[in-house]
Amino acid sequence: MTRRAWTLGEEILTLFRSIGRASLLYDIQDSHSGNMAVKIRGADGADMILITATGSQKGDLDPSQICFLSATETDYGYYKASSETDIHQRILAIPGAGASMHAHTKDLSIATMDDLPKPAQPADFIPIDPLGRKHLGDHVHVDWFAVPSGSPEMAALIPKRLEDHPATVIQGHGTFVRARTLTEAFFLQCVANNAGAVVRTARKLKVDVEALRLEIQADPAAHLAYLPDAFTIDDDACCDFPEETEILREFHKAGARVFESRLSPFQTGSMSVRGVHDILYAPKASMPRDLRSPLRRLPLRPAETDTGELARHKLIYAETDFQTIMHCWLPEAEAHSHFRYPGDEAVSDRIVPVDAEGTFMYLVIPVLPPDVDEESFLKKLHEYKVVVVRGGGVWAVGHQSLSEVLHHPSSVREICLYRIGAFEQGLDLRKMEPKKAKKW
């Protein structure tokens, strides 16, 4: 094929690096794993593909480590691109696809492992969390390949899987996604790994995951409080209050902590600060330090155009005197919301701290059902400042700052991790819980 003199823009290089660093931080890549590709229009009007070079450190890419390919032809002899270049090329040929990404989503990969004789067709992965069901669908294909890296069999099947699904899993080797933008591709990878983390954690707590999956499939509305908002791709640069530098720093700092602490996958969750007649609102709370998310100034009064997420923020402000709100999709809390104490028939309605700091700060963390009514939701939120809604995430409120409200979901994660660890060791959680927690 004819070699073109493609050039690399600083904006694209920065985006590749930023997502590479965030992938390493979120632990869905190792230092050199995975690959990313985007399709863009060249100066001559022809489509071209930019893809990371094989073995490159994605968070510290040099310009020479992004390779330029024709969108329609492949020259294996010239490019040092990934061995999976032809897979990405075929994915990007799918109508509407603008980016693709392969990541070593360890939680999802472990959740989809089996020890069956090979060759075999693994079972589909079925999410049990709202984020997974909303953005991945009610199932994700899982395939086994004798050669699970760059093989012709993968190049033939993976693009077909992605024609009508945003993500597909290679057993033991991670996830491929198809997206409109590279930011959306990273979002899908994080949501996919989060779905795996919820299933893995539920299994650690001896939750009957297969029975739960059947129940959710039979009646999703009875198990999912509501589905998250749709993912948007054209508003990340939006900031309605750039002049308010102090509160802007608070949003960015809190958003980075949400992402870095694994409190919610990339660009999920939400947070807000109340004003007199409006609210400052981040509809995508989880944001790495060098990947921005939209920040909006919106009327405090309800509007017909409000999403489900925004409407919940406005409801809390209308019925309480809280000044800040944070909503996170915390995988440990979602899994724990399905926990039954050994011998109990019913799912527990509380998470009781067994660690010193958690016990000092919280009597219990209420676990509310998916269909909790507004009055009960607001009452528990007012009494405890943080609640877990089964199938609805962690909601927290504060009277002062984003830093104050951030403390709640962060503490809930710690509390869940201690309980999960103790349970894994065969310890009796009831014996470890403070007696006062029985009277709440």
Q: What are 57's two structure tokens?
A: 């450190």
Q: What are 316's two structure tokens?
A: 């809390």
Indicate whether 17 pLDDT > 50.
yes
Tell me the average pLDDT across 424-432. 97
Tell me the average pLDDT across 139-154. 93
Side-chain half-sphere of 306: how many Cα atoms within 13 Å? 18
Report DSSP state, residue 30.
-
Indicate whether 6 pLDDT > 50.
no
Least confident of 62-66, 275-279, 285-289, 306-310: 62-66
Closest CA relative to residue 386, chosen from 418, 354, 353: 353
d(CA 296, CA 273): 11
Least confident of 29-38, 60-69, 260-269: 60-69
Check residue 58 and give its pLDDT.
85
CB 85 within 8 A of CB 146: no
d(CA 113, CA 172): 7
Q: What are 94's two structure tokens?
A: 């799918």
Tell me the average pLDDT across 92-103. 97
Closest CA relative to residue 228, chosen from 401, 19, 389: 389
Give the tens place of pLDDT for each residue, 223-246.
Answer: 988 779 999 999 999 999 999 999
pLDDT over 90 for what percent of the chain?
Answer: 82
Check residue 150 and give its pLDDT.
80
Tell me the average pLDDT across 372-379. 96
- 147 vs 76, residue with greater confidence: 147
Tell me the pLDDT of the chain averaged across its residues: 93
Check residue 82 and give its pLDDT.
63
pLDDT-derived band at 76 (thresholds 50, 70, 90) equals: very low
pLDDT-derived band at 56 (thresholds 50, 70, 90) equals: confident
Give the tens place of pLDDT for each residue, 312-358.
Answer: 999 999 999 999 999 999 999 999 999 999 999 999 999 999 999 99
d(CA 64, CA 41): 20
3-state SS of the chain: helix, strand, coil percent to 5?
Answer: 40, 15, 45
Q: Which residues neighbour 372 within 8 Å (Cβ) at sequence distance 6 or greater?
A: 225, 389
CA torsion angle 202 208 209 212 (round to 10): -120
From residue 103, give the alpha-carbon distance in Å to each of 50, 71, 185: 17, 22, 10
Closest CA relative to residue 89, chosen from 173, 42, 150: 150
pTM: 0.94
Instruction: Identify the structural domains of the chain with CATH numbers, from first to last.
Output: 10-219 (3.40.225.10), 245-438 (3.40.225.10)
pLDDT-derived band at 1 (thresholds 50, 70, 90) equals: very low
What is the amino acid identity at position 266?
F
